[in-house]
Chains A and B, each alone.
Chain A
Amino acid sequence: MTTIALPSYEDATSRYETVIGLETHVELGTQTKMFCGCKTDFGAEPNTQVCPVCLALPGALPAMNGAAIEATIRIGLALNCDIAEWCRMARKNYFYPDMPKNFQTSQYDEPLCVDGHVDVVVDGKEYRIGIERVHIEEDTGKTLHVGGATGRIHGATESLVDYNRAGIPLVEIVTKPVPGLGELAPEVAKAYVAELRDIIRSLGVSDVRMEQGSLRCDVNTSLNKPGEEWGTRTETKNVNSLRSVERAVRSEVIRQAGVLDGGGKITQETRHFHEDRGDTSPGRSKETATDYRYFPEPDLVPIAPDPAWVAQLKSELPEKPSTKRARLREEWGISELDMQSVANAGAVELIEETIAAGASPAGARKWWMGELARRANELGIELSAAGATPAQVAALQKLVDEGKLNDKLARTVLEGVVAGEGDPAEVMAARGLEVVNDTGALTAAVDEAIAANPDIADKIRDGKVAAAGALVGAVMKTTRGQADAKTVRELILARLGVS
C-alpha cells in the first residue's frame, strides 16, 4: 500500500473545484409511527413500542399516518417546493434484519415534494441551495451486535434487534448538486444544515436533534479540475453534528485531492466519518444487494393531497427563520455575528419568550447565551432542556434589575432553579440570598471593617479612594456576598467623610 501525500485544504481548493450534495433525514415528531398506532418515544425499553404492523408479522398491513403526510408537505412548502398532486409510496427491497419487512416503504420516482430551494448566508454572501426532492419513508430498527470486539456485525456472536424505531416516519431532503462554492463548500454545507434545522424546528414537526439522530446527514462530495466534468462522488455517512458536516466535507476534499494528485481514481462508495479523527474511511456496505427493485407499494393507496388544503398549509406557515432573525436582530440591537451565535445555540425562541415575559433583550440574551448555554454544552443537551424556562429567566433578571440580587447571587439562584428548587424568588428566599439592603446592618459591618483596617482607612482619608476596594471586599465577606458592592462602597466613603 502506498501512502499518498495529502495536500493542504487551501492547496486542494486552489487546483480543484468541488461539487457537494446533501441528503438529510429528519425523524418526524409524530405521536405515533408512520403505519401503525405505536408510540415513538425516544429511549424506551427495547421492543416495547411494537405491534404486528411494525414487526411485519404475517398478514399485517400498513395504514398511513395522516400527520406524517401533513408534516412532510409543510416541510416541502417551507423549502419552497412544489407539492405533488398525486404520488405513490414505493418499496425499496433489500434484506437486513433491522428492517422487519425486508423492504423499506419509501418513495422512488414520485416524491411528495420537488424542486425547492434554501438560501443561506456565509460571510455576508447569499447562496441558493436547490432542493431536488423531499420524500417520506419509514425508519428501520436498530441492530446491536454482541460479543464482537468492535460492536460491528463482523466477529459478533449474537445480534440483538430493537424494533422501537422501526416505522417511525422519516423525511428525506435531497439537495441538487451544488457546484461553484470554491473553498467555502464546507461552510456552506454547514450553514445549509443549520438553516434546514431551524426551518424544520420552526415548523414544530421534529425536534431535529443531531445528537439523538432525529436529524441525520449524508454528505456527497466530488472534485474536478476546472473546465472538466464533475468527478465521481463519495457519500459520507455518520455525520452527526453541524461541526462534523463542515469537517467531513473538508477532509473529503483533501483526501480526494490526494488520490487525484497521485493519478488515482475516486471510487463511488459510501464512507464513514470519524468524529474523533475528523476523517473518513470506506464504509462497510450495509446492503448486500445494490438493486433495490423499487416498485409502487401496493398496500397503500396513492397520496393525493387536496390542492386547497395544501394552499391552506402554505398560508399558515410560520415566519421563515432567516426573516425572523433579521427582524429580531433589529429589535434586539445586536450584530449579525451575535445573532448567528444565538441561532446556532438554538436560543432564538427562548430569548424571544424571555423578552415577552418582561426581560430586556440584553438581560435575556445574557442568561441564555451565558450560564445556560455553558451548562447545555457541558451536558451535551439542547438549550431548551438546560433546566430553566423563559419565564424563570425573566423573573431572575427582574430581581437583578430591582437590586434584590447582584450578578453573583443571581448566578447562584439560577443554579437552584436549574436544580429544580423552584422559581427564582423561591430559591432566593429558601437559600437566603437576597441582597442586604438594611443600612443599619451594613453600617455596622462597614464600621467593623474600618476599625479592623485602620491603615487602609487612613489611606482613603488621604484621598487614595482606590484603596476602598479592600474594605468593600471585607464587608462583602462578612455579609456573605449578600450586599450590593456599590452601596457598600458609597457607605465606606461616606463614613470616612471622603464623598
Chain B
Amino acid sequence: MSDLTRLSAADLASRIASREVSAVEVATAHLDRIDAVDERVHAFLHVDREGALAAAAAVDRGEITGPLAGVPIAVKDVVTTKGLPTTAASKILEGWTPPYDATIVERLKAAGMPILGKTNMDEFAMGSSTEYSAYGPTNNPWDLGRIPGGSGGGSAAALAAYEAPLAIGTDTGGSIRQPGAVTGTVGAKPTYGGTSRYGLIAFSSSLDTPGPCGRTVEDTALLHAVIAGHDPRDSTSIPQPVPDVVAAARRGATGDLTGVKLGLVKEFAGDGSEPGVLAAFRESLEALVKLGAEVVEVSCPHFQYALPAYYLIAPSECSSNLARFDGVRYGLRSGDDGSRSLEEVMSLTRDEGFGPEVKRRIILGTYALSSGYYDAYYGQAQKVRTLITRDFQAAFEQVDVLVSPTTPFVAFPFGSRTSDPYQMYLADLFTIPTNLYGGPAISVPCGLSEGLPVGFQIMAPTLADDRMYRVAAALESAVGTFTPPAL
C-alpha cells in the first residue's frame, strides 16, 4: 500500500468511503508519522491518539459519512476542543482543558474528522514565525533551521511534514496565508463572518477569521465547506449560504480562466519583496494569462497605511480581549500565597503568564485606547480601515480578484527578525489589507526561490470565496504542487 500520509484529503476520503482503507488505518498512519518526525518539526503541542482513533473507529462503524469522513485533521491550539488541552501557546493557559467545543470543532466532529491534536503557534496568534510560542518554535520542514511562518506555523508545518492531510488555522493579519506560503501549502482566509469565531480564543475580534489549510486547493475547499456557515452563537457570523467553493475549485482545476480579470495592486509592486519571490510571482502571473486570464493594474492608494492601522486596531482589541486572563477563574495563578492582594495576584499572573510580544501588543493597545489618544490612534485607524475597504470595493469594480505575493520573503532563519518587531511585522504587509476589509483571500504555492516555497495570494470580494478557489486551482493546475525534501 502507498504511504497514506502522502495522499490528498480528497483521495483519502474516497478510499475510506469505498472501504479500501479504514479510517483507523489512516489515523494510525498519521499518528505514527507524528511520532516519527514531530520531535524535529514540533508542529504539535498536544497529540490525542486515543481520541483520534476513537473518532476514526466511529467512521469505520458507518456512524458518520460525508465528503471528509475519516480524514484526520490538526487544529490550531487557539481553537477550543472539549476535553483536549487548549493553550493558545501561552503559559497563562498551561493545563487548561476547555469544557466546550468551538463551533468549527463541532462541525469537524459531525463530519467524522478525527482530531489528531493541537498545533503550535505564536502565543495568542501574535507573530509571524512561531518564535513567540511559549513552548518553543516549530521548525519548517523545508529547512529545520527556518521559521514555518506564523502565527499558524504548526498547522502549516504539520501539512508540509505529512503529519496531517488537513489543518485548521486562524487568520487575523495573515496567520493562515503567510505560513502556507513559506511551507509550500495552501491556506485560505474565508470572508470575515463566513466561519464562526465561537470557540476561537480572541486576539482581535473584528479581524480574526478561522479557515482551512491543506496541501491542495481542492482539499482546502472541501474543508472550507465543512467548517463554514452561519452560527447564531457568533453575532458577527453572516446568515447567508456559503458559496460553493468545492465546485469552484474543481472548475478552476480544468485550467480555463477565460475572461477572468486579475488585478495587480500597483502599490505592492516591488515593495520590499525579495527578487526570488517577485520572479516566482511574475512567472505564475504569466501562467495564469496563458490560461486565459487578463491582468489589469489597479490602484489601492490606502494600502500603504494598512500596516500602521492594523497595529493600532489589533492591539487595541487584544488589550481588551486578553483582560480575562487574570488567574481568577482558569489557567495560571501566580503569587497567591495569602500575603498578596487580589490586584497583586492578577498582576503577577499576567506578568508571568504572557510572553514579550503579547505584552508589547497589550501595552500598545491600552495606550491607543486611552482617553486623549483614542481619536488620534484607534479612531484614525478605523478611518483608514474604511478607506481601505473603499479601495477594495473600487478595485473589484474593475477586476474579479486581486493578486500579489503572499509575503515579501521566503522562510527566514530563526532569530533573524525577533530583535526588530517591525521587520517581523513586514511579513504581513500583503496579507493585512484583506483582514481590514473583511474579504476572503488564499495563498497557494507558486514556485521556489533558492529552494524555498513562494506563495501566491488571491484576494476576492466579500462572500465571493468561490472566486479565489477557482483562480487558485487553476494556478495549481499550471504550476503543480511542491514537495519538501525528506525529513
Contacts and interface: CB of A to CB of B under 8 A. Distances in A.
A293 B370 contact: yes
B63 interface: no
Nearest to A161: B328
A144 interface: no
B326 interface: yes
Main secondary structure of the interface of A (DSSP, over half): loop
Contact of A63 (B233, B319, B326, B374): B233
A456 to B, nearest CB: 79
Interface in B301-326: 316-317, 319-320, 323-326
Contacts of B199: 59-60
Nearest to A35: B235
A161 B319 CA distance: 24
Nearest to B199: A59
Query: What's the interface size class on A, roughly?
Result: 20 to 34
Nearest to B205: A298
Given A100-B329, A153-B342, A59 B236 contact: no
Contact of A93 (B201, B328, B369): B369
A231 interface: no
Contacts, number: 103
Contact of A301 (B201, B233, B235, B338): B235
Nearest to A153: B342
Interface in B134-162: none
Interface stretch (A50-58, A118-126, A420-428): A50-58
B371 interface: yes
Contacts of B132: none
Contacts of A60: 100, 198-199
Main secondary structure of the interface of B (DSSP, over half): loop
A56 B204 CA distance: 16
A327 B346 CA distance: 58
A58 B324 contact: yes
Nearest to B79: A59
B485 interface: no
Contacts of B326: 95, 97, 102
Interface stretch (B41-49, B91-99, B352-360): B91-99
Given A157-B338, A293-B370, A300 B100 contact: no
A298 B192 CA distance: 12
A293 B324 contact: no
Contact of A293 (B79, B99, B320, B328): B320
Interface string B325-364: 1101110000000100011001000000000000000000
24 contacts: A57-B98, A57-B99, A57-B330, A58-B98, A58-B330, A59-B86, A59-B98, A59-B198, A59-B201, A61-B198, A61-B202, A63-B232, A63-B233, A93-B369, A95-B326, A97-B342, A97-B346, A101-B323, A288-B343, A291-B370, A293-B319, A295-B320, A298-B236, A299-B235
Given A59-B79, A299-B235, 20 more contacts: A52-B100, A55-B329, A58-B86, A58-B88, A58-B93, A58-B330, A59-B200, A60-B198, A60-B199, A61-B197, A61-B198, A61-B202, A61-B233, A93-B323, A97-B342, A102-B324, A103-B320, A295-B374, A298-B205, A299-B202
